[in-house]
Chain A
């Protein structure tokens, strides 16, 4: 088996001045901007929940208007965010997520999920735990590749044709695993294509190892800026 590598991750928090939490994240060549606002007033009376906050997710594709694929991503991310935020702390409010897809060369879904987590860390909303998503594919020779770059045909990138979600030619299947930070257990999985159960378990095992690296990345990111915050607060105290 060839050496497995997780793509380089770059992220910057607080890039949008008007949002509570915002981040630009790029994993390899996939990048997106996530914008978190909350807790804010619920925009429609039907969504008011007396016991917990209402989570709203808007996923903007790179071009054209949102379609079924985007709705699917929105729904999955909404479910994930509802489970990681302590929503019961913010009753009768709304938490808004906006994801702007910027570059998609495979794994944009995992990138968006990781972006949401960093956005939440930046927004200061109370969370139960962190989440990290890892994307991997199964190629035609039954080898698992973690975090591949560009699995789409190049010509499709220019036009607005709704990308066929079926896996073509070179790859058999793709997986997106989402893990939580407490026990590294699986909280969401999205698969596409056909694969054997053994390969699924193998991919899961590898992804679990990869997710640790992403959690370390979160920790470094928070550590880097919290040092400055603590310094400032000590100076104020003196």
Chain B
């Protein structure tokens, strides 16, 4: 935790508050349809599988795999100065939902599609926790 956090601070939309509150408590919250069982992310107000409005927030196991990834070699934001190269990935959680995050704890050269990963929670500031992913 740091007062001089230089990276972008997300501005949650009204539907995303449970996700960010969950992250602060080190839970990876995603949405689930109470009718068809479909899981999805990012948040919406209807099931993206069947259209039902009978939906709930649930904690994901945090286990998944890297669906795809890129490695940033160019600085687009001063907050990442000194961290180039870094990996940004689309993570497919075992519940089926996909989300954007970083792959950490491994050299970028070793990141591969379909690699098994597990969530880790990075407390970025006193009020912001980011779910990131580490190879299992």
Q: Are A and B associated in one complex?
A: no
> B residues engaging A (CB < 8 A)?
none
